Amino acid sequence: MKTMFITPDPSPDPAERRTPRVRFTGLSAGYPGRPVLRQLEAEIPAFAVTALVGPNGSGKSTLLGVLAGVIHPTAGELHHAGDRPPAFVPQRGAVGDALPLTVRQTVEMGRWGDRGPWRRPTRRDRALVDTAMERLDITHLAARQLGELSGGQRQRTLIAQGLTQESDLLLLDEPTTGLDPEARDRIATLLTELAADGVSVVHATHDLEAARSADACLLLHDGRLLGQGHPEQVITPSTLARIWQPA
């Protein structure tokens, strides 16, 4: 299976739709002296938006890092169905405002995985960057410094960078945190459109409304998986009472 972010695929093969994009069993991971994820077993559906939801410290970002390949599991198995590396969009705060980068330069960094950081962009690279910026409606911001942007503009820039990587798996860490309602709705609509185009989207969030708008949900607490499935089945009053207990 090979699906490009910015080339819509309105009718994927039915067999591809039934095959999970990612599957993991017995998955554990963490950091030296600090285990985080404990024996997770779940599937990430293809061509859908999946929310990783849970309170701070539940392991959402660590699981994203494992899916992205930047954190290595300490136990278990992880299987990817795609043939392109995942595209990982970190939290907005992970990209420093002090870097003297324009919006276009930031988006162009998404092509480094294919051509390296020091080679001049090819015609195809420039076309991919142009298309991603148009889709995220940031073309008019091309010459602006990254540190001058609003939260929503900055997030759209980072997602555009992810799109240029041409992966069929997009991973986002808290993509709507700190954004105003209009910006949150805009990002949510974009993620739905990407899934319809043949992209498997996974985003970590502690925003229950954002999680409820997803197609599927993995509920994490203290590094363990408490539930998976449709948000209406997973995010219930009983589970919320169990996880978000008042202090």
Pick the last residue of a domain from 113, 136, 166.
166
Domain count, the chain: 2
Q: Domain of 66? A: 1-8+22-86+168-247
- Lookup: tokens for 30: 């963490």
Same domain, 116 and 64: no
| Residues 113 and 85 sit within 8 Å (Cβ to Cβ) | yes
Same domain, 228 and 187: yes
- Is position 64 within any domain? yes
- Is position 14 within any domain? no
- 238 — phi, psi (to 5°)? -70, -40
Same domain, 155 and 177: no
| Per-residue pLDDT at 26 | 98
- Is position 37 within any domain? yes
Same domain, 118 and 208: no
CATH of the domain at 202: 3.40.50.300
| pLDDT digit string (tens) for the chain, length 247 residues | 333 334 434 455 555 556 899 999 999 999 999 999 999 999 999 999 999 999 989 999 999 999 999 999 999 999 999 888 999 998 765 555 666 899 999 999 999 877 777 778 899 999 999 999 999 999 999 999 988 999 889 999 999 999 999 999 999 999 988 888 888 888 899 999 999 999 999 999 988 888 999 999 999 999 999 999 999 999 999 888 888 765 4
| Per-residue pLDDT at 178 | 83
| Per-residue pLDDT at 240 | 85
Q: What is the dihedral of CA 47, 51, 52, 53, to 10 degrees?
A: -170
**pTM attached to this predicted model:** 0.87
